[in-house]
Every structure is written in C-alpha cells, then in structure tokens.
Amino acid sequence: MTSGVTKRPPFTPRYWLSWLAVGAMWLLGKSPRKLGLALSIPMGWVLLRLMKERRKIAQRNLERCFPDWTPSRLNQLLAEHFHSLGRMVFELAWSWSASTSRIQQMGQVKGVENARNAIAKGKGVLAITHHVTCLEMGGRLAAFEIPDLKGVYRPLKNPVIEWYQNRSRAQYSGGVISKRDMRSFIRFLRSGGVLWYAPDQDFGARRSVFAPFFGIDTATLEATGRLIEMTGCEVMPMFPVFDSKTGKYTVTMYPAMKKIPDENIVQTLTRINAMIEEQIRQAPDQYWWIHRRFKTRPEGEPPFYD
C-alpha cells in the first residue's frame, strides 16, 4: 500500500529553487515557537494584501456563511484568518522538521480513549476532520497516539516539495495515500487501519451530491458516504485547533458517530457537514476560507463567485 513517498529528485539546476525552498522550510522548522508565532502576525498582514484573489474568495465565503455579522466583524475575521495563514507556514515547517520533544511541548491530544474504543471494535476507523490552517500540526500530534495513522493528501506538481512533505510525514506516521487512490482507502480501512480524512472540498458535480453546509446547498463528496458504506468502518470526528491564549495546539478525538451510514447518502453527508460546521464556528479564523468551497452550484443557480 502506498505511503506517498517517492524517489528523491536530483540536485540539478532545474530543481535548485525548489531545494532552496525545502532548505528554508527545514530552517524554519528549527525556529523557536514564540518567534514563529510573533512573525506570523506581520506575515499574515502581507498575505492579506498580496493574495488579492484569495482574499476576495474568503470575503465572499464569510459574507454568505455569516450573513448576520456586521461588516466590521467580518473584516476582523478576515484579518484573523490571514494571520492564521501566516502562522500555518511555521506550523508546516515545525511539523516536518521539529524534534519529537519540541512537538510534544507544543500541544496535546484529548479523547484518546475514544480512538482506542473505536479501534478495539476490530473495524477500520475513518477519522473525519476539516481543512484548517493547523491541520499538519494536528496530524503530527495525533500520530503520537496512533502511530500507524495514515492521511489523505493531494499530490503536488513540484516533485521536490512532494518528496519532502511525504518523506517528513512518513517519519512520524503510517504515511499518506493519494486522494485519487480510493482502492487503497478501502483496503486500508478493511484491514483495520485508521485513516485521517478531510472531505470538505469541492470536487465538482460529477463526484458530489448537494447537502447543506452553513445553510447553503453545497457540493459534498459522495465518496465519503460510499466509503463508510463499503467498509463498515467506525466514523470518529478528530479535530485540531490552535489556542491563541496559550499558543498551543489541541487535537480532540470524539466518540465515534452512531447510526452511520444513515438512511441515505444525503442524510449521511448532511450529518458530517453539520459536524464540521459546528467545529468551524468554534474557531472560524482557522478554517480554509480561501478555498472556493461553494463553486459548484445546483442547476439553474447563478455562480457563487465573480
């Protein structure tokens, strides 16, 4: 079964800039936590002004998901979100190159007994999460409690960055499986593995059904429901969050969902969307608002984004 690790690309001129980027990420991973958190504030300010198209997407998402909020409150959340994106640069670097002892000092895992209870049933466990800025740190911390945890990832076009991220992840977990490799998902879950899976992205109408999310009909990945049906796995919510007061991270493993799959796939996905929405509302600045989550619309609806 694939771990996502590929052969190391050569040190040829074609990849020199990529290797410099990897070197910079490695060095950032050695930076003190307090320094990284401090630098993430100006970095977020810069990203807010440079990423104009992504800023527009985030603004549109926030306006529709929080229609009762005032413009000033939405603008504040937008600024906080880009601050979280700035912090994410350091979170990625720490996750990939900081020592085990340093990572353990940065956060904690709660609800481990819920994961153990789910695993003890002898089935696979689909650990549902969502796309947040501290997702990588969450994976690193969760792997302390579930060493064979595998994650689902999106293959990158840059072979150097692809090799570095997958090699780093494989050093502290069971590795990763490409989001395109559904057969490996099924085999892994049927073998009793724990798969960390974030289904909250728009993959188009052909692969989705519409289910409510923040009160909006949202293209929701049909494969999530099919995966649960085909493998009979336990479905355990597992969400990471950053606490700005303590400067630390917490991964919470919740009890496995009951009576899932539901009567039909739309009801199953509606429950999963509601669960994810509840988590987002607790720390809205950390959700991946720059993604065009509502790009695919039901037939006859106007475009969501300009």
Reply yes or no: is the peptide bond before residue 212 cis, omega within 30 of 0. Answer: no
Q: Which class for 13: exposed (0-12), middle (13-18), buried (19 or more C-beta within 10 A)?
A: exposed
Q: Domain span at residue 203?
A: 13-286
Inside any domain, residue 227: yes
Inside any domain, residue 47: yes
State whether residue 191 is helix, strand or coil.
coil
pLDDT at 11 over 50: yes
Structure tokens at 206: 């052909």
The closest alpha carbon to 49, from 89, 24, 85, belongs to 85
Which helix (H) or strand (E) is 104 found in, with range?
helix 100-106
pLDDT at 1: 45
- The C-alpha atoms of residue 199 and residue 272 are separated, in whole angstroms, by 9
pLDDT at 293 over 50: yes
- The C-alpha atoms of residue 77 and residue 291 are separated, in whole angstroms, by 16
CATH code of the domain containing 54: 3.40.1130
Inside any domain, residue 6: no
User: Per-residue DSSP letters for 115-152?
Assistant: HHHHHHTTS-EEEE---BTTHHHHHHHHHHH-TT-EEE
Locus of tokens 């796995």: 233
Inside any domain, residue 297: no
pLDDT at 4: 59
- Per the CB < 8 A criterion, the answer to whether 158 and 18 are in contact is yes
pLDDT at 263: 87
- The C-alpha atoms of residue 253 and residue 142 are separated, in whole angstroms, by 9
Inside any domain, residue 176: yes
Inside any domain, residue 303: no
- The C-alpha atoms of residue 184 and residue 198 are separated, in whole angstroms, by 16
Structural domain count, the chain: 1
Inside any domain, residue 7: no
Sign of CA dihedral 72, 77, 82, 84: positive
Mean pLDDT score of the chain, rounded to an integer? 95
pLDDT in tens, 37-60: 999 999 999 999 999 999 999 999
pTM listed for this prediction = 0.93
Distance of CA 161 to the CA centre of its chain: 18
Structure tokens at 196: 């960390």
pLDDT at 90: 97
Inside any domain, residue 250: yes
Average pLDDT over residues 113-138: 97
pLDDT in tens, 172-191: 999 999 998 999 999 999 99
